[in-house]
Amino acid sequence: MASQRRQMQQQQQQQAGTAPAPAPVGFEDYLPVMAERLGEEGLMRELASGFRLLMDPARGLITFDSLRRSAPLLGLGAMSDDDLRGMLAEGDFDGDGALSEMEFCVLMLRLSPELMDGPRRWLDDAVAQASQFLFTS
């Protein structure tokens, strides 16, 4: 939804002659497409594969060192150590300084809020129907 809105805005700006340079495509743009094509189970398998690629095999976690080693493979080689630590901290819910597979998957889903548009609409519809039933009965 957000990426479609962004595309429409860019098309309108191009027609008006005020279009900015196209923004780079980020992870949050790809995850909803992956979810749609792979389905829920397929997406979780892909996230688990990504986790295994980044994790420290000895600890079974994504650590600062394993992320720093993998950063060039992800196109993040120019990131500072502080930026990499910040990435870890954003998903580190238990405070151990590393990401478990669950923390990694939750972080990836949080980075793509568009994935929650469908469930949010479903919940809004359900609440509206329940309200209508409760207040008209």
- Outline where DSSP puts E strands in 13-129: none
Please state, rounded to an integer, the average pLDDT across all residues of the chain. Answer: 75
pLDDT at position 30 is 56
Q: Please state, in angstroms and rounded to a whole number, the distance separating the CA atoms of residues 3 and 25.
A: 10
Residues 64-103: tens digit of each pLDDT: 999 999 988 878 788 899 999 998 999 999 999 999 999 9
Domains of the chain, with CATH numbers? 30-111 (1.10.238.10)
**Side chain identity at residue 20, one-letter code:** P
pTM over 0.85: no
Q: Is 34 helix (H, G, I), strand (E, B) or coil?
A: helix
Residues forming a β-bridge with 79: none
Q: Please state, in angstroms and rounded to a whole number, the distance separating the CA atoms of residues 54 and 98.
A: 11
